Structure 1
Amino acid sequence: MGRRKKHIVMCADDFGMNEHVNRAVLELATVRRLSATSCLTQGAAWPSGAGRLRALDIDVGLHINFTEALDSDNHFHRPLSRLMLKAWLRQLDVAMLVREIERQCDAFEQHMLREPDFFDGHQHVHQFPQIRDALIEVLVRRYDCDDVWVRSTAMRHASLKGGLQLKGHLIALLGSAALCRRLRREGVPFNADFAGVYDFTGGAARFARNMDGWLAAVEDGALIMCHPAQTGDPNDTLGEQRVAEYGFLKGEAFGALLQRHDCRVTRMQT
Structure 2
Amino acid sequence: MSLRRIQICADDYGFDRAISQGILDTIDAGVVSATSCMVLSPAWPHWAPALKEREGLADLGLHLDLNEFAHYAARSLNGWIVAAYRGAVPVSLARPWIEAQLDAFEKRLGRAPDYVDGHQHLHQLPGIRDALLQVLCARYGHACALRITRSRQWRGAKAAIIGALGARALAAGARAEGLRVNRDFAGVYEFQPAADFAALLKWWLDFLPDGGLMMCHPGRAGATETRADGIRGARVKEHAVLAGGQGRALLQALGIQPGRCRDWDVARAD
Q: Same fold (TM over 0.5)?
A: yes
Residue 254 of structure 1 corresponds to 247
Q: 1:200 aligns with which of 184, 191, 216?
A: 191
Separation in 2 of the partners of 1:41 and 1:103? 10
Residue 121 of structure 1 corresponds to 118
Task: Kindly indicate whether the alpha-carbon contact (under 8 Å) linking 2:63 and 2:116 is maintained by their aligned counterparts in 1.
Answer: yes
Task: Kindly indicate whether the alpha-carbon contact (under 8 Å) linking 1:227 and 1:245 is maintained by their aligned counterparts in 2.
Answer: yes
Task: Kindly indicate whether the alpha-carbon contact (under 8 Å) linking 2:7 and 2:258 is maintained by their aligned counterparts in 1.
Answer: yes
Residue 211 of structure 1 corresponds to 201
Residue 51 of structure 1 corresponds to 49
Alignment: residue pair count? 258
Residue 268 of structure 2 corresponds to none
Residue 167 of structure 1 corresponds to 158
Which structure ranks higher in relative contact order (CA pairs < 8 Å, sequence separation ≥ 6)? 2
Which amino acid is 1:11 matched to? Answer: C
Q: 1:177 aligns with which of 168, 173, 182?
A: 168
Query: Is 2:31 the counterpart of 1:41?
Result: no
TM superposition shift of 1:194: 0.6
Q: 1:265 aligns with which of 258, 261, 268?
A: 258
Aligned-residue Cα RMSD (Å) equals: 1.4
TM superposition shift of 1:24: 1.1
Task: Kindly indicate whether the alpha-carbon contact (under 8 Å) linking 1:40 and 1:65 is maintained by their aligned counterparts in 2.
Answer: yes
- Secondary structure, aligned partner of 1:119: strand
Which amino acid is 2:147 matched to? Answer: R
Over residues 5-27 of structure 1, what are the superposed CA-to-partner deviations in whole Å (9 max), with x where a residue is unaligned? Answer: 21010100000100111111112
TM superposition shift of 1:239: 0.8
TM-score, normalization by structure 2: 0.91
Separation in 2 of the partners of 1:84 and 1:49? 30
Which amino acid is 2:250 matched to? Answer: L
Residue 131 of structure 1 corresponds to 128
Unaligned runs of 5+ in 1: none
Unaligned runs of 5+ in 2: 265-270
Task: Kindly indicate whether the alpha-carbon contact (under 8 Å) linking 1:65 and 1:121 is maintained by their aligned counterparts in 2.
Answer: yes
TM superposition shift of 1:105: 0.7
Residue 152 of structure 1 corresponds to 148
TM superposition shift of 1:197: 0.2
TM superposition shift of 1:241: 0.9
Residue 91 of structure 2 corresponds to 94
Which amino acid is 1:182 matched to? Answer: G
Q: 1:107 aligns with which of 101, 104, 108?
A: 104
Over residues 73-96 of structure 1, what are the superposed CA-to-partner deviations in whole Å (9 max), with x where a residue is unaligned? Answer: x24542111111110011123212
Over residues 169-214 of structure 1, what are the superposed CA-to-partner deviations in whole Å (9 max), with x where a residue is unaligned? Answer: 11000000000000010001000111000000144x6111100100
Over residues 204-236 of structure 1, what are the superposed CA-to-partner deviations in whole Å (9 max), with x where a residue is unaligned? Answer: x61111001001111111110000111143621
Q: Percent identity between the aligned chains?
A: 38
Task: Kindly indicate whether the alpha-carbon contact (under 8 Å) linking 1:34 and 1:265 is maintained by their aligned counterparts in 2.
Answer: yes
Task: Kindly indicate whether the alpha-carbon contact (under 8 Å) linking 2:187 and 2:204 is maintained by their aligned counterparts in 1.
Answer: yes
